């Protein structure tokens, strides 16, 4: 992507404001979501978009308008690839809004982007605590189920993997039934990405407590017995 002109980005951000027409907001959101795609490790676009104040209005739009949630969530997910942007996104109050977007009222695409953004934000210890306190763990575990697409399952497992780095979060994650749900994603018929992230999440959960390792072994044994019955 060619370097972005700061004034062009600033004009797009202005269209995200409350004074703009819904059609203008949607057009600007779609453009920002597209411009914020980071290829080959090039973070210039992400830095340029955040530098002109795009993140706070993106958070506000994603929280209050269902018609633009998909584009707002996609843009925040893209912008969260940059470490400095992660700080700005959290400071703008995005975490509680993103947790709400994990719910069944959201489309699969919105859930996927919300979970992915939370996964990026959960890379820091402070955010791990804040995300869990906002109630993210139960809906993330729900998204591991068969009603979700493989993409949603993968991002939910990735977020749980990051959150489980915190020992207190591990207890909460296990208590809401994450271990059986994650083990189900290890089935041979599962897609590779959910399977990989689920295995990583289980590894961290097992690291924190012997009783978690026992629960994982039991769930794997049950899964293997079920698989043999299906052969």
Whether this prediction's pTM lies above 0.85 is answered by: yes
Residue 40 banded pLDDT, cuts 50, 70, 90: very low
The tens digit of pLDDT for each residue in 153-163 reads 999 999 999 99
List C-alpha distances in Å: 170 to 4, 44, 184, 206, 208. 42, 36, 18, 9, 7
Residue 33 banded pLDDT, cuts 50, 70, 90: confident
Q: How many CB atoms lie within 10 A of CB 146?
A: 8
Stretch 205-228: mean pLDDT = 85
Stretch 115-141: mean pLDDT = 96
Angle at 194 between CA 153 and CA 165, to 5 degrees: 85
**Confidence check: pLDDT of 20 > 80:** no
Stretch 90-98: mean pLDDT = 94
CA distance 168 to 90: 20
List C-alpha distances in Å: 2 to 45, 194, 210. 9, 33, 52
CA distance 89 to 97: 11
Task: Please enumerate in sequence order all residues whose Cβ is within 8 A of that of 219, keeping only pairs 6 or more positions apart, or say none.
Answer: 179, 180, 183
The tens digit of pLDDT for each residue in 44-61 reads 678 778 888 889 988 888
Residue 38 banded pLDDT, cuts 50, 70, 90: low
Stretch 113-131: mean pLDDT = 95
């Amino acid at each position: 992507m060619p370097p972005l002109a700061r004034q062009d980005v600033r004009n797009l951000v202005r269209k995200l404001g409350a004074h703009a027409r819904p059609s203008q907001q949607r057009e600007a959101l779609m453009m920002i979501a597209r411009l914020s795609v980071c290829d080959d490790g090039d973070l210039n676009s992400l830095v340029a978009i955040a530098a002109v104040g795009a993140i706070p209005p993106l958070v506000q739009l994603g929280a209050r308008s269902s018609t633009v949630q998909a584009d707002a969530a996609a843009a925040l997910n893209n912008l969260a690839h940059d470490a400095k942007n992660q700080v700005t996104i959290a400071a703008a109050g995005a975490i509680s809004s993103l947790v709400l977007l994990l719910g069944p009222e959201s489309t699969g695409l919105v859930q996927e982007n919300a979970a992915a953004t939370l996964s990026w934000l959960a890379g820091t210890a402070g955010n791990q605590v804040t995300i869990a306190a906002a109630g993210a763990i139960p809906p993330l575990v729900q998204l591991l189920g068969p009603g979700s697409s493989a993409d949603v399952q993968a991002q939910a497992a990735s977020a749980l993997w990051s959150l489980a780095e915190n020992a207190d979060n591990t207890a909460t994650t296990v208590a809401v039934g994450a271990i059986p749900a994650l083990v189900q994603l290890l089935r041979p018929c599962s897609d590779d990405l959910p399977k990989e992230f689920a295995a990583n999440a289980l590894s961290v959960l097992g690291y924190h407590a012997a009783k978690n390792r026992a629960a994982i072994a039991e769930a794997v044994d049950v899964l293997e017995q079920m698989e043999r019955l299906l052969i």
